[in-house]
Amino acid sequence: MIETQRLILRVWQEKDIDDLVEGINNKNVSKWMASAPYPYTKEDAKNYILKAQKQDDKNIKFAIVLKSENKVIGGTELTNINKKDGLAGGGIWLNEKYHGLGLGTEAFCARIKYAFDILGLRRIENGYFPTNTPSKMMQLKLGYKEEGLRRKRFYSLSTKEYIDECITGLLKEEFIEPKNFTFKIINEK
C-alpha cells in the first residue's frame, strides 16, 4: 500500500464494488476510459475487481482511497511493466465528485514515485483523449512531454466511437514533484 497526504493506494477489494460503480457509472467519467462501458454495472465492477486482484509483475492496479472518508474515489494503474527496458504505461480515473481538488494529481504522483523509486523504472508512457484538457494539464504539470498522436487508437465502450490518443512520456529525470508531496509505502493491516 502507498500512503500520501490524503490518500491510500491499495489493492482492489470486493467491498469496493459500490464505490467503483458510483465512480464509473457516470458518462463524464467513463467517456475518458476506453474500456469502461456505460452504463457501468455491479457485474462489471465484480469482474474488474477479480481481474485486478490477479496482479502480476507486469500490471499493478490500485484503488484510490480518500483517507478522510475511507472511500474508494478512483483507480490508477501501471500496465505493461517492462523491467528490462525500464518502462510502464497506465492511467487514472476519479469519481466526478472529487474532481478539481488535486486528488488526481496526488494519486498520479504516488503512482509515478512507485514506478521510479520502488520498481526502478526510468520511463512512463501515458496519454489522454484530445478533449480531456484536465488530464493533459495534469500530465504536463508533472513533467510529461507530448510525443505524438495515435489516430483512432481506442474504441470507447462508453461513447461507442473511435477516439484519438495524444501520447505522452515522462522520464525519471523530468518528473516535477509537487512541493510538500509525501509518499510512503505502508504494510497492510
User: Can you give 25-72 as a three-state secondary structure string?
Assistant: CCHHHHCCCCCCCCCCCHHHHHHHHHHHHCCCCCCEEEEEEECCCCEE
Rounded Cα distance, 189 and 181, in Å: 24
Q: Is residue 70 assigned to a domain?
A: yes
pLDDT tens-digit map of 2-35: 999 999 999 999 999 999 999 999 999 999 999 9
Write down the pTM of the prediction: 0.96
3-state secondary structure of 146: strand
pLDDT tens-digit map of 45-76: 999 999 999 888 999 999 999 999 999 999 99
Percent of the chain with pLDDT over 90: 95
Average pLDDT for 136-156: 97
Q: Is residue 26 assigned to a domain?
A: yes
Average pLDDT for 77-92: 97
User: What is the residue range of 35's domain?
Assistant: 2-184
Whether residue 39 has a cis bond before it, omega within 30° of 0: yes
Q: Is residue 60 assigned to a domain?
A: yes
CATH of the domain at 59: 3.40.630.30
Q: Is residue 189 assigned to a domain?
A: no
- Give the model's pLDDT for residue 55: 84
Q: Is residue 56 assigned to a domain?
A: yes
Q: How many domains does the chain have?
A: 1
Q: Is residue 58 assigned to a domain?
A: yes
